[in-house]
């Protein structure tokens, strides 16, 4: 057992204050800046000079899209994380994403109408003109997108001249206009319509690299960057060369947790005191933002992180070492098939553990019980599967239904394919796709079962082991109801 433990009741309250209870789906941040932590790879992603930010669901794409649009949060990044190169000479706006007003960005229905008459490039050029405030003769009429797109199409020389004038003016003022785009999978209801819109936006982002002071930053899902139809334009490789993935190492996940605990409203002081008393950690406060700064060792030293976390949880995921230690067990059971852990899943598991666990007696003095952590992983799996099947890839649920309670992984792919054939799963899915019931169908559905397995592998839902068998990570397996010897029990 761990040598130390934090006081149980105050630590549980600190966790309640520190862990987010909501998702980031709006155009504005939903938490105070002090709860924001920037891992090293994310600092590169936020750099205005890097165009493409790639991330899985829950990795932080929409979070950063919203944070960069907030003056308060940008000031926080500039003060606490200067490595992001976010400075006060940036004019940041949102060109597309969830929750924007029609005056800021054309909605999905407006885009569908515009592409019937205009080239996609003209649409995105218009968005740039609006957000960089082109002067006359550009007809800057907020919300009247067709009027403005029509002008861009009919006046290419005037557009180019105005863009050059605006670019030069920004450069003279030592200003940069950075326009953010998120939620590109929501540009339309099917890949056939999304591809030309996304391709034109990517190409325009590359072209604007030649400008002095106008930049586009794209927050993109991994599958879009693997779609050859989207990247089918000259020099797309140059764009991908500046791609920065949003990755979360184990050390980053726990640094995020400790950052939030240290700045909890009423119990943050107690957490900082215990870290100083038990582990010799010295804290400083950033005066401009009143943020308690995480000591460098708590950001990077996994041995220290392990001891601190085990002072919250106890040392083992059971009564002894057989089932492993919470510090490694928790992220290992949340990792997907692409070896990525979503901080959203990580925090959701801990939130569920602290809110749904029964009060402990003196027999278990730590704030979190290992059974509560295991239940938290089950809940995180349920949330993750609900997100992927309801919002992003509804066709995944149709593929998983015949496998529920009928498969134990790892397994031979033939076992999965046979269950699909017995159920006529692909025939049913193909019919639903043709009838328009399934938004964004699997890209390789025409290649049959083998193509579908590749699609699931690309999403990280499954993995192929060295012996060609199929494995499914726990973050999906539990909620999809597949078995695994010795693993966390699947949900029924």
pLDDT at 239 over 90: no
Rounded mean pLDDT of 130-156?
94
Tokens of 387: 């997100």
Rounded mean pLDDT of 433-445?
78
The strand pair at 291-293 and 284-286 is best described as antiparallel
More confident residue, 109 or 364: 109
Q: Provide the pLDDT for residue 33.
A: 87
Rounded mean pLDDT of 341-355?
90
What is the crossing angle of helices 343-356 and 370-387, to 10°? Answer: 130
pLDDT, tens digit (0-9, with 9 covering 90-100), for 28-82: 667 888 898 999 889 999 999 899 998 877 778 888 888 888 888 988 888 888 8
Rounded mean pLDDT of 225-232?
81
The fraction of the chain above a pLDDT of 70, given in percent, is 95
Q: Provide the pLDDT for residue 337.
A: 79
Rounded mean pLDDT of 264-282?
93
pLDDT, tens digit (0-9, with 9 covering 90-100), for 107-126: 989 999 999 999 999 999 99
Q: Provide the pLDDT for residue 2.
A: 47
Of 461, 451, 248, 221, whose CA–CA distance to 337 is shortest? Answer: 461
The region of weakest confidence among 99-108, 220-229, 404-413 is 220-229
Q: Provide the pLDDT for residue 486.
A: 66
Do 169 and 161 form a contact (C-beta atoms < 8 A)? no
Q: Provide the pLDDT for residue 359.
A: 55
Cα separation, 54 vs 429, whole angstroms: 29
* Most confidently predicted of 71-75, 141-145, 160-164, 375-379: 160-164
Q: Provide the pLDDT for residue 301.
A: 95
H helices present in 287-340, as ranges: 296-300, 302-313, 326-332
Q: Which residue has the tokens 């080239």?
A: 119
Four-residue CA torsion sign, 66, 69, 75, 81? positive
Cα separation, 143 vs 21, whole angstroms: 34
Average pLDDT along the chain: 88
Cα separation, 330 vs 310, whole angstroms: 12
Q: What is the DSSP letter of 341?
A: B
For residue 7, name the pLDDT band (cuts at 50, 70, 90). confident
The fraction of the chain above a pLDDT of 90, given in percent, is 50
pTM, two decimals, is 0.88
Tokens of 2: 């761990």
Q: Provide the pLDDT for residue 313.
A: 93
Do 340 and 59 form a contact (C-beta atoms < 8 A)? yes
Rounded mean pLDDT of 164-180?
96
Rounded mean pLDDT of 327-345?
88
H helices present in 241-301, as ranges: 250-262, 268-279, 296-300
Angle at 251 between CA 245 and CA 257, to 5 degrees: 100
Tokens of 124: 């995105």
Q: Buried b vs exposed e over 426-444: b needs ≥16 C-beta within 10 Å?
A: beebbeebeeeebbbbbbb
pLDDT, tens digit (0-9, with 9 covering 90-100), for 448-475: 999 999 989 988 899 999 999 999 988 8
More confident residue, 25 or 258: 258
pLDDT at 343 over 70: yes
For residue 413, name the pLDDT band (cuts at 50, 70, 90). very high
**Strand ranges (E), 97-175:** none
pLDDT at 360 over 80: no
Question: CATH 3.40.50: which residues of the chain?
Answer: 40-245
Do 131 and 95 form a contact (C-beta atoms < 8 A)? yes
40-245 placed in CATH 2.60.120: no
Do 293 and 286 form a contact (C-beta atoms < 8 A)? yes
Burial group, residue 371, by CB count within 10 angstroms (0-12, 13-18, 19+): middle
Q: Provide the pLDDT for residue 1.
A: 44
pLDDT at 233 over 90: no
Do 409 and 477 form a contact (C-beta atoms < 8 A)? yes
Cα separation, 120 vs 144, whole angstroms: 16
Q: Which residue has the tokens 């005056």?
A: 103
Do 238 and 33 form a contact (C-beta atoms < 8 A)? no
Cα separation, 361 vs 340, whole angstroms: 36
Of 4, 2, 71, whose CA–CA distance to 316 is shortest? Answer: 2
């Amino acid at each position: 057992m761990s040598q130390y433990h934090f006081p149980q009741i105050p630590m549980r309250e600190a966790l309640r204050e520190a862990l987010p209870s909501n998702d980031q789906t709006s155009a504005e941040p939903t938490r105070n800046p002090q709860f924001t932590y920037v891992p090293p790879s994310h600092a590169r992603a936020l750099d205005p000079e890097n165009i493409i930010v790639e991330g899985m669901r829950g990795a932080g794409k929409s979070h950063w899209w919203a944070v960069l649009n907030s003056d308060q949060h940008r000031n926080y990044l500039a003060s606490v994380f200067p490595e992001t190169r976010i400075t006060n000479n940036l004019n940041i706006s949102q060109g597309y994403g969830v929750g924007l007003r029609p005056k800021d960005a054309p909605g999905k229905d407006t885009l569908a109408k515009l592409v019937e008459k205009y080239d996609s490039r003209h649409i995105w050029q218009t968005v740039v003109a609006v957000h960089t405030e082109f002067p006359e003769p550009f007809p800057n009429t907020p919300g009247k997108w067709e009027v403005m797109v029509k002008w861009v199409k009919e006046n290419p020389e005037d557009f180019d001249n105005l863009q050059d004038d605006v670019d030069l003016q920004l450069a003279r003022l030592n200003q940069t206009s950075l326009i953010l785009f998120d939620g590109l999978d929501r540009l339309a209801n099917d890949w056939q319509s999304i591809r030309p819109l996304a391709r034109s936006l990517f190409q325009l982002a590359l072209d604007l690299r030649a400008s002095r002071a106008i930049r586009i930053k794209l927050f993109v899902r991994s599958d879009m960057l693997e779609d050859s139809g989207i990247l089918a334009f000259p020099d797309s490789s140059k764009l991908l060369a500046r791609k920065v993935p949003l990755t979360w190492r184990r050390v980053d996940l726990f640094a995020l947790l400790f950052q939030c605990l240290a700045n909890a409203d009423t119990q943050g002081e107690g957490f900082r005191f215990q870290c100083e008393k038990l582990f010799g950690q010295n804290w400083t406060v950033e005066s401009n933002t009143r943020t308690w700064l995480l000591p460098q060792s708590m950001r990077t030293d996994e041995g220290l992180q392990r001891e601190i976390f085990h002072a919250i949880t106890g040392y083992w995921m059971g009564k002894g070492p057989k089932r492993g230690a919470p510090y490694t067990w928790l992220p290992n059971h949340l990792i997907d098939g692409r070896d990525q852990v979503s901080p959203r899943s990580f925090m959701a598991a801990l939130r569920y553990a602290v809110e749904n666990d029964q009060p402990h007696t003196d027999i278990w003095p730590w704030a979190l019980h290992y059974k509560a952590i295991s239940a938290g992983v089950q809940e995180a799996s349920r949330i993750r599967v609900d997100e992927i099947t309801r919002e992003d890839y509804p066709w995944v649920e149709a593929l998983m239904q015949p496998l529920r309670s009928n498969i134990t992984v790892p397994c031979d792919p033939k076992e999965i394919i046979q269950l699909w054939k017995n159920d006529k799963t692909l025939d049913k899915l193909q019919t639903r796709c043709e009838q328009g019931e399934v938004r964004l169908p699997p890209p390789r559905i025409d290649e049959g079962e083998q193509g579908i397995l590749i699609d699931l592998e690309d999403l990280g839902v499954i993995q192929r082991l060295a012996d060609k068998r199929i494995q499914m990570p726990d973050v999906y397996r539990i909620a999809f109801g597949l078995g695994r010897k010795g693993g966390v029990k699947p949900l029924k």
